[in-house]
Structure 1
Amino acid sequence: MPKLLLAACALTILLSSTPQPGNATPVTAPNTCSDAAYRRFDFWLGDWDTYRITGEKVATSSVARNRITSILGGCALHEAYTRNDGYAGESFTSYDASRKLWHQTWVSNQGELLVLEGTQQGDRIVLSGSVTDAQGVQLQRVSWAPWQGGVRETCMGSRDGGKTWAMLFDIQFRHHRT
Structure 2
Amino acid sequence: MKAIYIVFVCLFSFSVNAQQNNTSCKCCTEKHGEFDFWIGKWTVTNPDGSFAGTNVIDKIQDNCILRENWTSANKGYTGTSNNFYNATTKQWEQIWVDNQGGSLHLKGNRVGNRMILKSDMITDSKGQKFHHKVTWTLNEDGSVRQYWETITIDNSITVAFDGLYKKTE
Same fold (TM over 0.5): yes
Structure-2 separation of matches of 1:109 and 1:132: 22
- TM-score by length of structure 1 reads 0.74
The answer to whether 1:33 aligns with 2:27 is: yes
Structure-1 separation of matches of 2:154 and 2:116: 15
Structure-1 separation of matches of 2:124 and 2:97: 14
Match of 2:72 among 83, 86, 92: 83
Q: Kindly tell me: are residues 87 and 134 of structure 1, through their superposed partners in 2, closer, same or farther at Cα, counting changes over 3 Å?
A: farther
- Could you say which residue in structure 2 is the equivalent of 1:126? 116
Residue type of the partner of 1:156?
E
Residue type of the partner of 2:147?
T
- Could you say which residue in structure 2 is the equivalent of 1:72? 61
Residue type of the partner of 1:110?
Q
Percentage of matched positions with identical amino acids: 31
> Contact conserved, 1:66 with 1:82, CA < 8 A, in 2?
yes
- Could you say which residue in structure 2 is the equivalent of 1:101? 91
> Contact conserved, 1:107 with 1:113, CA < 8 A, in 2?
yes
Q: How many residues align?
A: 145
- Could you say which residue in structure 2 is the equivalent of 1:43? 37
Structure-2 separation of matches of 1:123 and 1:52: 21
Q: Kindly tell me: are residues 110 and 38 of structure 1, through their superposed partners in 2, closer, same or farther at Cα, counting changes over 3 Å?
A: same
Structure 1: 5+ residue stretches without partners: 1-27
- Could you say which residue in structure 2 is the equivalent of 1:146? 138
Larger radius of gyration: 1
Spell out structure 1 runs of 4+ moving beyond 6 A: none
Q: 1:47-66, CA deviations, whole angstroms, 9 ceiling, x for partnerless residues?
A: 0001012xxxx50x422010
> Contact conserved, 1:139 with 1:162, CA < 8 A, in 2?
no
Structure 2: 5+ residue stretches without partners: 1-20
- Could you say which residue in structure 1 is the equivalent of 2:100? 110
